[in-house]
Amino acid sequence: MIPAEFDYVAPESVADAVAALAEHGDEAKVLAGGQSLLPILRMRLNAPGVIVDLGRIAELRGVSEDGDHVVIGAMTPYSEVLASELVSTHAALLSKAIATVADPQIRHRGTVGGALVHADPAGDVGAPALALGAQLVVAGAGGTTRTVAADDFFEDLFTTAVGDGELLTQIRIPKHTGWGAHYEKFVRVSHQWSIVGVAAAVRTDGGSIAEARVGLTNMGSTPLRAKAVEEALVGRQATDEAVRAAVASVAEGTNPPSDLNGDADYRRHLATVLTRRAVLAAAGA
Ligand SMILES: Cc1cc2nc3c(=O)[nH]c(=O)nc-3n(C[C@H](O)[C@H](O)[C@H](O)COP(=O)(O)OP(=O)(O)OC[C@H]3O[C@@H](n4cnc5c(N)ncnc54)[C@H](O)[C@@H]3O)c2cc1C
Ranges of each domain in the chain: 7-53, 59-174, 180-282
Q: Candidates 3.40.50.280, 3.40.50.300, 3.30.43.10, 3.30.460.10; correct CATH number of 7-53?
A: 3.30.43.10
Q: Let me know how long the chain is.
A: 285
The ligand 1 atom at the shortest distance from the C-alpha of residue 117 is 34
Residues 235 and 10: their CA atoms lie apart, in Å, by 52
Backbone angles phi, psi at 40, to 5 degrees: -65, -40
Residue ranges around ligand 1 (CB below 6 Å): 29-37, 39, 54, 74, 101-102, 106, 110-111, 113-115, 117-118, 123-125, 162, 167-168, 193
Q: Which of 21, 26, 36, 164 to mutate to test the pocket of ligand 1 (most atoms within 8 A of CB)?
A: 36
The ligand 1 atom at the shortest distance from the C-alpha of residue 78 is 21
Q: Candidates 3.40.710.10, 3.30.465.10, 3.90.550.10, 3.90.1170.50; correct CATH number of 59-174?
A: 3.30.465.10
**CA 268 / ligand 1 centre spacing (Å):** 26
The residue contributing the CA closest to ligand 1 atom 28 is 34
Give pLDDT tens digits along the chain (285 positions): 899 999 999 999 999 999 999 999 999 999 999 999 999 999 999 999 999 999 999 999 999 999 999 999 999 999 999 999 999 999 999 999 999 999 999 999 999 999 999 999 999 999 999 999 999 999 998 899 999 999 999 999 999 999 999 999 999 999 999 999 999 999 998 888 999 999 999 999 998 999 999 999 999 999 999 999 999 999 999 999 999 999 999 999 999 999 999 999 999 999 999 999 999 999 998
Any idea which fold 180-282 has? Enolase-like; domain 1 (3.30.390)
Domains 7-53 and 180-282 share a fold: no
Q: Which residues of 195-225 are buried (b: 16+ CB within 10 A; e: fewer)?
A: bbbbbbbbbbeeeebeebbbbbbbbbbbbbb
> For the whole model, what pTM was predicted?
0.97
Residues 91 and 82: their CA atoms lie apart, in Å, by 11
Nearest to 243 by CA among 219, 207, 267, 196: 207
